[in-house]
Structure 1
Amino acid sequence: MSDQRSVTRSDLVAYCDAMLESSAFQDYCPNGLQVEGRNQVRRLITGVTASQALVDAAIEQGADMLLVHHGYFWKGEAAPLTGIKKKRLKALLENDISLLAYHLPLDVHAEVGNNVQLARLLGWQIRGGLEPANPRSVGLHGELETAQSGAEVAASLERALGRMPLHIAGNDRPIKRIAWCTGAAQGYIEKAIALGMDAFVTGEISEPTVHSARENRIHFFAAGHHATERYGVQALGERLAAHFGIEHRFVDIDNPV
């Protein structure tokens, strides 16, 4: 390990903040450094959510920093540091591990963002934002290279993500124009409908989404919140490893939702 390169915590955080333009977002949580650990970063562990299982894995693997999409301190949650919040933070602080988290900035980034990375994984051609007037549209829309049936799109999602999506078939027509937004964006189906899309893909589903898909005759796919958001943080970790010459490992903590 003596010849391994390192970067200061502040330089790595500044690089991420600038690249992701984190200060430009009004988000549900603080973006950037959430827990301050040791000054030098040699080993970076990435994951989707800073659960206890991921924190434990970072400790076991000798991480200097943990980088996630879902961090801590969400709006509306109870403020006291008790229960699982205390346990998670205590483990990070006792092991001098920094926690770096980016939520919306990591969803929308044009290179390492969750939505762009999902499109690359599936081979979807990006045509624009799901919110055309918003330069930082969270969701995207595009086209499949060739039209596919709903069953074929479901099968391609299963192959890519390792889990069968829940498919609500709003019609029996083939799919060519497709919109997507990773995570819990089932409400964005209305934006896909407004743009005349054949299908909308996201992570989760709510009871009203079924009726909306059927009555508006649009295919809807709930492909998994965790499953659709594994790729942005990996891409960011790989970018940091290449830029700073540090070690990066992605740890996938299984989550069926």
Structure 2
Amino acid sequence: MPDWLSAILLGLIEGLTEFIPVSSTGHLLIAEKWLGHRPDWFTVFIQVGAALALLPIFWSKLMGLLMTWQRPESRDYLLKLTLAFFITGVGGLVLDKLNYELPETVGPVAWATLIGAFVIWGIEFWRRAPQGNPNLTWTIAIVCGLAQLLAAVFPGTSRSGATIMAALALGLARPAAAEFSFILGMITLTAAGGYKLFDAWKDGELHGAGALDLTLGFIAAAVSAFIVVKWLLRFVQHHNFNGFAIYRFILGAVLLVWFME
């Protein structure tokens, strides 16, 4: 398969799975079995593409918050968003300074995917009756920041899945939980991606990178992420996440059986 085509397919997979409560890492592991392994900085680059695709979706909300920052409700939301990002950012820098390395085997990813399925089921069962509170609390902001760190330490957890389900468990309504998770993820992935790409450039890892492959992967991730997030924002208005739990269980089982045989 031509490199440019595999770059497009990997970009599509990244964009389709990054912001829904499944494991983008697990999907990329499966895809690379056929499409070939890519360096980590390629994955980071297409993640940035997926993250930046959300900017047009939330532009009005973000500009509204910034333009009306003097209003208590706008300032409150911005401060909570900043706190969640700060927690993740500081935790990520600490992990980086400690030279934390992600697992190199599929097992941890598969088990995190399976455990995540049962967590989703449990939270949805517990929350079946109440619709949730639309107001974001400081506790939820703090826990979402920590949830992003959990997803960074245990690939397969799903960053969006961890933040959305943490917010739901603490009583936030599904639409508000999804929106906060997406905005927080957009900022976090862009900042983390920029940091990692700068490191890769500084270490000379980007030397010889194919501009065409990078561009096509970036665009594919951006377009697919935009479509998925627009769909999911409508989906959560009237549906729960049990379907994603079933999908995660199947994906985790496939990873365990296929890659560990």
Name the TM-score, length of structure 2 as normaliser: 0.26
Which structure shows the bigger proportion of residues in strand conformation? 1
Which structure shows the bigger proportion of residues in helix conformation? 2
Larger CA Rg, structure 1 vs 2: 1
Name the TM-score, length of structure 1 as normaliser: 0.27
